[in-house]
Amino acid sequence: MLKNILWDNDGTLIDTATLFCDANRVALLSKNILMDEKLFVKISQKQGKSILEYYALKNSWNEKQLKELYLLRQSKYTEMLKNGAALNYEAFNLIECLKQKGIKNFMVTGSSKNELLLEYSKKSDLLALFDDIITADDCDRPKPHPDSLLLIIKKWHLYSNDSVVIDDLPRGIIAARKAGLKAIRYNPFVKKSKYASFSKLLYSLENIANK
């Protein structure tokens, strides 16, 4: 019986993944480097590592130069967030329905608390739908490490047979498996993705709930 859903945020509930990619691209352009998007997907989205650190090592940049890039990326990303990012209202409507049925919903995000508040500055009421929220401030290691998921499991005494993770990226699915949880890949903001379908998400949840 399904009792708990652990939702990823960026790229699943809100389209900030695109903004983050763009912020990295702008930062690297300041060094006259055109970011390889396939490499970004591999390093950032699959491995959970920094594309800036990759290029810093490749080009022998010093710590000061790397720090300047991080500051520029953060500045651009914050500026983009202030302009707003698309929300996945289908998912939020589902969360509201599940909540009414007694199913707990948790958000497990790689964003910091400040970034999260900025992302939802115009829709802060949506955050109240979650029973608990874990941000990057709560864990030292990001996905694909399972730390953030293990924190929720321990805090709320979750079990693998009644809980599922929903994430848009491979690193989130890997983290779920490392934590011993079932996972559904759902990538709603990439329309050509085979994981973009909301109806397939519902079908997968129904299958898990009936097992």
List, for residues 125-167, the tens digit of each pLDDT value: 999 999 999 999 999 999 999 999 999 999 999 999 999 999 9
- Predicted pLDDT of residue 47: 85
AA letter at 84: G
Domain ranges of the chain: 4-15+86-209, 17-82
The reported pLDDT for the residue numbered 87 is 95
Question: How far apart, in whole angstroms, are the C-alpha atoms of residue 67 and residue 72?
Answer: 9
DSSP 41: I
Residue 180's pLDDT band (boundaries 50, 70, 90)? very high
Q: Vertex 140, ends 137 and 92: CA angle to 5°?
A: 50
Query: Residue 211: what pLDDT?
Result: 66
pLDDT tens digits, one per residue of 40-50: 988 988 888 89
Domain 4-15+86-209 -> CATH class: alpha beta
pLDDT of 11 over the 70 cut: yes
Task: Tell the burial category of 5 from Cβ atoms under 10 Å away from its Cβ (0-12, 13-18, 19+).
Answer: buried
Lowest mean pLDDT among 18-22, 75-79, 204-208: 204-208
What's the pLDDT score for residue 1?
83
Does residue 203 surpass a pLDDT of 90? no
Sheet holding 132-134, edge to edge: 132-134, 104-108, 4-7, 163-167, 182-185
pLDDT over threshold 70, residue 25: yes
Q: Quick one: pLDDT at residue 181? A: 97
- Alpha-carbon distance 37 to 21, whole Å? 8
pLDDT higher than 70, residue 102 = yes
What percent of the chain clears pLDDT 70, i.e. is strictly above it?
100
Please list the residues that pair with 150 across neighbouring strands.
none
Q: Where residue 206 falls among pLDDT bands split at 50, 70, 90?
A: confident
Is 167:183 a contact under the CB 8 Å cutoff?
A: yes
pLDDT at 191 over 80: no
Sign of the Cα pseudo-torsion (141, 144, 145, 147, in order)? positive
| Residue 135 φ then ψ, to 5° | -110, 180
Give the side-chain half-sphere CA count within 13 A for 45: 20
pLDDT confidence band for 6 (50 / 70 / 90): very high
How high is the pLDDT of residue 208? 78
Residues β-bridged to residue 87? 14
pLDDT value at position 194?
Answer: 85
Beta-carbon-side half-sphere exposure of residue 5 (alpha carbons within 13 Å): 29
pLDDT at residue 22, as a whole number: 94
Mean pLDDT calculated for residue range 198-210: 85
| Range 111-116 contact pairs with CB under 8 angstroms and sequence separation of 24 or more | 111/9, 111/10, 111/16, 111/135, 111/136, 112/136, 112/137, 113/137, 115/77, 115/78, 115/81, 116/9
